Amino acid sequence: MIITISMELDIIISISVMLQLAIGLPSNLVSLIIWTKGKKSKSLSCSMYFRLVTLSDALSLLIIFYLTWLWRGDPVSFQLMFFFKYFLPSLSTWLMVCISFERYLSLICPFSFRPAGARIRALIAFVCLVMILTGINSYVFFMNDYDLLKYTLILHEIATLWTLCIIPFVLINLTNILILIKLYQMKQQRLGRNRQSNHATSFTKMAIISCVLQSISIAPLMILMLLRYYYSDVAVYQETEFILSAIVYCTIYLNNCFNFFIYYCNSSNFRSDFKEMCCCCCRRNTIHQLNATTIASTRI
């Protein structure tokens, strides 16, 4: 019975990964182009953070696609891909924590916390996160050592539970609660009348939605890890572990598919840059067709 359920869940997971890659990879690449090249979007204070998040999410989808569909048992490539499987989601999650901090500080210190240095702050935060998360997830490369296997499995549970789930989940939601309180106070004080303040508020709301979706996507993994830690010997848990693992496997990368739609629906600057990019592509195609028609007519 368990084998049958496991095979069915493997099929569901494989199809889910394929769909997530088909939706998430193009949308993240388009988002990356807009955050990098868009005239209005690239000037926003958190644009560098969103570039890094979209890049990390796109790579996460490629890694999980490789492990699900293409990996054929090579231990070296498995260790490397397994490392990135947890490193990249952790990086995206902690970048969302940084975005939450950035937006909150920009609200409480609008004059001293200027957006001009946001790019430098984002790069510094990115480098620090890469170094820290590389050290935390480096246990993966010692999994082939049977003498250390017990300790690496313990480190894996601790790293996944705390650095990917509990700590960022708490920080993201706590910071966004503080942001919502601050926005409410600003509304009560009628500080959001001018156009610039409205743009800043809408961008903050977009960042909040992205961060909340990130925390929702990691919530099932956090629940699974807590159940595994406290109820691993309970028969009911053992019977449902396959189903819980499949749900986690599908939801942890689900937010990677919806970032583009969140940006488009909540940011007028992002929407404007996307429409401009589409118009440029249409104009180029039209010009190319006209040139091809002109050359063909001159030859005749």
pLDDT of residue 25: 92
What's the pLDDT at 294? 56
- What is the rounded distance in angstroms from the CA atom of residue 210 to the CA atom of residue 216? 10
Query: 55-97, pLDDT tens digit by residue?
Result: 999 999 999 888 888 887 777 788 888 899 889 989 999 999 9
pLDDT of residue 30: 93
Q: How many CB atoms lie within 10 A of CB 129?
A: 20
The span from the first CA to the last CA of the chain, in angstroms, equals 72
Indicate the SS3 state at residue 217.
helix
Q: Residue 27's closest CA among 274, 296, 291? A: 274
**Helices assigned H by DSSP within the chain:** 2-37, 47-65, 75-108, 118-136, 149-158, 167-188, 195-230, 235-251, 255-266, 268-299
Structure tokens at 208: 């909040």
| Cβ contact 24:256 at 8 Å | yes
Report the distance separating Cα 265 and Cα 267, nearest Å. Answer: 6
pLDDT tens, 117-158? Answer: 788 889 999 999 999 999 988 888 877 666 666 777 777 778
Exposure b/e, 228-261, CB count within 10 A at least 16 = b: beeeeeeeeeeeebeebbbbbbbbbbbbbbbbbe
For each successive 10 residues of the chain (300 residues), what is the average pLDDT? Answer: 59 84 92 90 86 93 88 79 89 91 83 71 93 89 70 78 88 88 78 53 77 82 77 61 74 82 86 86 60 53
pLDDT confidence of residue 2: 45
Domains assigned to the chain: 2-299 (1.20.1070.10)
- Write the CB contacts of 292 (distance below 8 Å, at least 6 apart in sequence): none
